[in-house]
Chain A
Amino acid sequence: MTTIGLPHFLIVGGALFALGMVTVVTRRNAVGILMGVELILNAANVNFIAFNHFVEGPGKLSGQVFAIFVIVLAAAEAAIGLAIVLAIYQTFRTIDVQETDSLRQ
Chain B
Amino acid sequence: MAEIPSNLRAILVRIGVLALGLAGIVGAALLHRFAGLGLGVTLGVEYVSVTCVVWGLNGFLFRSTPLRGLLLLVFSAAAFGVLFLVAYFLAKVVGPFVVNSAGQLVGLVHLVDLIFYAFAVMTIAGAAGCAFSRNIIYSAWSLLFAFMGVAGLYVFLGADFPAVAQVLIYVGGILVLILFAIMLTKQIGGDPKLTNAHLALPVGAALAAATVATLTYMAVMAPWKLSPTRSWEPVSAGLGIAFLTDFLLPFEVASVVLLAALIGAVIIARKEIKETSDSVLQR
Counting contact residues on chain A (CB < 8 A from B), the size range is 35 or more
Give the complex CA separation of A28 and B134 in angstroms.
Answer: 11
Q: Taking CB as reference atom, which chain A residue is nearest B275?
A: A90
Interface residue from B105, B207, B247, B272 paired with A25 (Cβ < 8 Å): B207
Contact yes or no, A55 B180, CB < 8 A: no
Q: Assuming A18-B211, A65-B242, A82-B181, is B150 touching A45 (CB within 8 A)?
A: yes
Contact yes or no, B247 A17, CB < 8 A: no
Give the complex CA separation of A89 and B159 in angstroms.
Answer: 39
- Which A residues from 62 to 86 make CB contacts under 8 A with B? 62, 64-65, 67-69, 71-80, 82-86
Instruction: Determine the chain A residues whose CB is within 8 A of the CB of B238 once the complex forms.
Output: 59, 61
Contact yes or no, B185 A11, CB < 8 A: no
Q: Assuming A25-B207, A57-B228, A61-B239, is B124 touching A12 (CB within 8 A)?
A: yes
Contact yes or no, A26 B265, CB < 8 A: no
Identify which of B165, B174, B258 gathers the most chain A CB atoms within 10 Å of its CB: B174
A interface vs B, CB < 8 Å?
2-4, 6-23, 25-29, 31-32, 34-36, 38-39, 42, 45-46, 49-50, 52-59, 61-62, 64-65, 67-69, 71-80, 82-87, 89-90, 93-96
Identify which of A14, A39, A64, A94 gathers the most chain B CB atoms within 10 Å of its CB: A64
Interface residue from A8, A45, A58, A73 paired with B257 (Cβ < 8 Å): A73
B interface vs A, CB < 8 Å?
101, 104-105, 108, 110, 112-113, 116, 120, 123-124, 127-128, 130-132, 136, 139-140, 143, 146-147, 150, 153-154, 156-159, 161-162, 165-166, 169-170, 173-174, 177-178, 180-182, 184-185, 188-190, 192, 194-196, 199-200, 203-205, 207-208, 211-212, 215-216, 218-220, 224-228, 230-231, 235, 238-239, 242-243, 246-247, 250, 254, 257-258, 260-262, 264-265, 268-269, 271-272, 275-276
Contact yes or no, A27 B235, CB < 8 A: no
Interface residue from A58, A74, A93 paired with B230 (Cβ < 8 Å): A58
Instruction: Determine the chain A residues whose CB is within 8 A of the CB of B264 once the complex forms.
Output: 80, 83
Contact yes or no, B146 A12, CB < 8 A: no
Q: Taking CB as reference atom, which chain B residue is nearest A6?
A: B224
Instruction: Determine the chain B residues whose CB is within 8 A of the CB of A16 once the complex forms.
Output: 123-124, 127, 146, 150
Contact yes or no, A4 B178, CB < 8 A: no
Give the complex CA separation of A49 and B174 in angstroms.
Answer: 20
